[in-house]
Structure 1
């Protein structure tokens, strides 16, 4: 029987079928790979998001309770949280984030013993930094007046700042502990400790502030206590379990190579502080408007919502920092690059949903934070800008997490200076005051800086040579103590 001859049409059809099957095979392979990486990502990001939200909620709940006491009390807690404590938070988190690079890459390279040494070095540096920052808390009223806050708000916020000094030293202990645990993927420990403390904080804060009528004094007592309970709970876990060999007790090695460690910590601090202070400055500049109390309260409510949403992105920030640093430390550059793609797609999808929620609830969510109709109406006006910021926050912190995991802090610091303080901040001041657009103009201009920074980070992340990044990670581990860990 003769084999039938194939026409050109048949041949073309067969080629198309083969190509379609190949494309389908590639899609399935990509889907499986995506799901596998997504599972790893959520194993880290889920508890990290929960931890970030619960820890942020400590201050946010205190601020909410203060708003129910009165407008001045809300302004005092808001300004202290966003300006004084916000400044300290940015410095401490930034200094501590050097551990994300070092601990993550050391863990990926199998140098487990060095993690405990890194954490102790960071404690030394951050506790010293806390002592240096103490005068800012003590002399906060004149500092706040100098940058434009009214005398009434400055004095109230300054008094609350003085009561919050113990929180500063809790930050110094907490952030190195968190980076130490995150690098080992022990994120569930932090989640459980934070959850228990949040329940205690909510109940006892209500009792002290309202039932016992202690007002802001009660708020300060509970906020300080809650942060120290988090530190103690995490330390107990580390000391009892030894963290699978990462903790081998206190060591004099913590004081070795301190100056080099300080320089790396400062590069991380500059990068993150420029980000944290950027939106903090929004509250300060708004305080210079003609009638600042209502705009400051409205901006503070929006920053509260934005802060809660940002905790989701910060959770992804922590997760991608761990994934990138671990994979680069292990020399697996392609997987590190693919992890960046997965986390970006996931985080942006969530950002779109959160933006929609803000816009849908814009008319009633302000009343969760204030009993003042004027403040609520002003907050509703700002909701569109809040929605845009929420969307940007879904990607920008994730890209910063990639930078920390790969060790690009110095590069991103320069980008932040240019985008935030040379472009965004002047644009906000111009729109807010020169064009008389008030708080909306200030915030709108500053959003422009965030957009520019995000675009630049996307370009840099896309163009980096990831094989070179893996080689640099190996060199970094050896430089910062890999040889000691093998002794």
Structure 2
């Protein structure tokens, strides 16, 4: 089998035919960098665009809600910034376990396992999504207990119920994306992302401006926009788009579920702690309705989509190379991805540091808002700079399967360092919003240093062994093979 055959060509999918170790070592550095950049952007480009599209759907919905009324806008911002983002974070994290398994299996040439892992992930994520329903069904009473304005609480409860189909779309969307990315089938992801974003603008305008459906029109369009990629990708997979990795529904999906559950929950905790961390800024300051806070958070959110694209790309690259037994290529991929993402982050850092308040005139004509944004711009710039490195290191952890370790790191750095420091700086020293944000930046900085140390100190040859041991333990025989699977 591919996992045991060190000489099996399927275990080296990224090496051109006839490329031996001597040839590989003799290649120039620039040629290696160019080759790796191409491999990286095959995943990063579509991943960034897709995340821009998903985030764009939310921003477009928010814009249309603003035209309906201030109460609707405040309620929508509250639901999607807190409740939906929490669900989105933990589901994206749990789905990243599939990125580990599919990426390593594809690198090892176990193509038939990708479809089985996809089905196992569905069996884990869909029931968990159902378990999140109380968050959406009881939003109004929870907000009342927290002292939220009655009209906003009632509207938020209505929007939360509308959000339930959207949240279920995340379970299928994230898993399908990671299944397709692991085998570099990214065009279909990009096409449907572009289609959903375009239709959302048109449909939202038609339902609200032409038919006057209000909140129901915006939320109905949002649901359709989020389900278009899911249906399209699902049809692509089951109707012959992935003949080597999809062999139909299989009873094998019900085997070894506990291992997938553990890896999924570790992944979910890891990424949820990261994504929800930024929401703490809003909750601690209570400035949800302030234009400058909303504006800077949206800018930071857009930039974060670039970072999450690189997170997906390096996760796939590391997983593929570890599955293929290429420890050196995994290390080289990490180096190139960090360098590329850092270059983009540093460019944006300079832009936001020097333009400062002038950025705000894209969204507002108020000089007061511009002044407030200028005051927050240095913190935004440093956040963007750190976001260009930290998610890449988290992606390395996903590709290697270290989710549980990084979850502990995140708890320590974010919730024992960042948030306490933010509270002290904001409320004891009196820095307010800037204090909370500065504390969060320090927490991310500590986490980045810890993950850098872990990555640099890792024995990547041992990671190859760990990846192959995991794959061998969960391997099942091919559908046309009557021999029993090879047990570890």
Assess same fold via TM > 0.5: yes
Distance in 2, matches of 1:243 and 1:235, equals 11
On the 8 A contact 1:68/1:370 being kept in 2, the answer is: no
**Shift, 1:450, TM fit:** 0.5
Q: 2:443 aligns with which of 445, 449, 452?
A: 449
Question: Which residue in 1 is equivalent to 2:142?
Answer: 143
Segment of structure 1 superposing worse, 398-407 or 234-243: 234-243
Structure 2 residue 311 is the aligned partner of structure 1 residue 273: no
Matched, 1:481 2:470: no
- Tell me if structure 1 keeps the 8 A contact 2:422–2:439: yes
Counterpart residue number, 2:462: 468
- Mapped to 1, the partners of 2:146 and 2:252 lie a distance apart of 42
Mark the CA change 1:152 to 1:454 in structure 2 (over 3 Å): closer, same or farther: farther
1:219 alignment counterpart:
218
> How much does 1:376 deviate?
5.6
8 Å CA contact 1:201, 1:222 repeated in 2: yes
How far residue 369 of structure 1 moved from its aligned partner, in angstroms, is 4.5
Conserved in 2, the CA contact under 8 Å of 1:148 and 1:285? Answer: no
Alpha-carbon shift at residue 156 of structure 1 (Å): 3.0
Does the 8 Å contact 1:68/1:369 carry over to 2? no
CA contact (8 A) 1:324 1:405 kept: yes
List gaps (5 residues or longer) in structure 1.
1-25
Cα shift at 1:348: 0.4
Task: Write the deviation string for residues 460-483 of structure 1: whole angstroms up to 9, x where unpaired.
Answer: 111100000001110011112255
Q: Label 1:64 to 1:46 Cα distance change in 2 as closer, same or farther (>3 A).
A: same
2 CA distance for matches of 1:67 and 1:362? 25
Question: Could you tell me how far 1:381 is from its partner in structure 2?
Answer: 2.9
Give the match for residue 5 of structure 1: none
Checking the alignment, whether the CA contact within 8 Å between 1:108 and 1:328 is kept in structure 2 is yes
> What TM-score comes out, normalization by structure 1 length?
0.89
In the other structure, the counterpart of 1:262 is 261
Q: 1:393 aligns with which of 376, 384, 387?
A: 387
Q: Partner residue of 1:102?
A: 101
Match of 2:13 in 1: none
Offset at residue 377 of structure 1 (A): 4.8
Shift of 1:374: 5.7
1:98-149 alpha-carbon deviations (Å, 9 max, x no partner): 0011000010111111111111111111110111001100111233455565
Distance change >3 Å, CA 141–CA 314, structure 1 → 2: same
- Is the contact between residue 98 and residue 265 of structure 1 (CA under 8 Å) also seen in structure 2? yes
CA distance, structure 1, for counterparts of residue 459 and residue 259 of structure 2: 26
Which residue matches 1:340?
A: 334
Bigger Rg over Cα: 1
**Distance in 2, Cα, partners of 1:308 & 1:481:** 39
1:29 counterpart residue number:
28
Instruction: Kindly state the Cα deviation for residue 47 of structure 1 after the two structures are TM-superposed.
Output: 1.6
Contact preservation (8 Å) 1:147, 1:284: no
The aligned counterpart of 1:78 is 77
- Contact 2:56/2:197, CA 8 A, preserved across alignment: yes
Partner of 1:408: 402
Residue 13 of structure 1 corresponds to: none
Find the aligned partners of 1:272 and 1:151 in 2 and give their Cα distance. 33
Report the Cα offset of residue 28 of structure 1. Answer: 8.4
SS at match of 2:430: coil
CA separation in 1, counterparts of 2:266 and 2:232? 29
* 2-structure distance, mates of 1:30, 1:460: 26
8 Å Cα contact 2:99/2:316 also seen in 1: yes
Say if 1:213 and 1:387 are closer, same or farther in 2 by CA, change over 3 A.
farther
Question: Is 1:305 aligned to residue 313 of structure 2?
Answer: no
User: For residues 368 and 132 of structure 1, do their structure 2 counterparts lie closer, same or farther at Cα, with a shift above 3 Å needed?
Assistant: farther
> Structure 1 residues 329 and 127, CA, compared in 2 at 3 Å: closer, same or farther?
same
Counting only pairs closer than 5 Å after superposition, residues 226-305 of structure 1 correspond to structure 2 as 226-287=225-286, 292=287, 294-295=289-290, 297-305=291-299
Pair 136,45 (structure 1): closer, same or farther in 2 beyond 3 Å = same
SS of aligned partner of 1:235: helix
Is the Cα–Cα contact under 8 Å of residues 68 and 371 in structure 1 kept in the other structure? Answer: no
Contact conserved, 1:80 with 1:160, CA < 8 A, in 2?
Answer: yes
Change in Cα spacing, 1:65 to 1:27, as seen in structure 2 (3 Å) is farther
Q: Quote the Cα distance in structure 2 between the aligned partners of 1:334 and 1:179.
A: 24
Deviation, 1:424, is 0.3
Aligned to 2:39: 40
Comparing 337-346 and 77-86, the one that deviates more: 77-86
Q: Give the deviation of 1:59 after TM superposition.
A: 0.8
Asked if 1 retains the 8 angstrom alpha-carbon contact of 2:288 and 2:294, the reply is: no
CA RMSD of aligned residues (A): 2.2
User: Is the alpha carbon distance of 1:242 and 1:256 closer, same or farther for their aligned partners in structure 2, counting shifts above 3 Å?
Assistant: farther
1:351 counterpart residue number: 345
From the superposition, tell whether residues 433 and 326 of structure 1 become closer, same or farther in structure 2 (CA, over 3 Å): same
Instruction: Judging by fraction of residues, say which structure has more helix.
Output: 1
1:422 is the counterpart of 2:427? no
CA distance in 1 between partners of 2:386 and 2:201 (Å): 30
Equivalent in the alignment of 1:10: none
Kept in 2: contact 1:106–1:482 (CA 8 A): no
- Report how far residue 359 of structure 1 moved: 3.5
Assess, with a 3 A threshold, how the Cα gap between structure 1 residues 366 and 204 changes in structure 2: closer, same or farther: farther
Alpha-carbon distance between aligned partners in 1 of 2:72 and 2:373, rounded to the nearest angstrom: 18
Q: How many residues align?
A: 457
Deviation at 1:60, TM superposition (A): 1.8
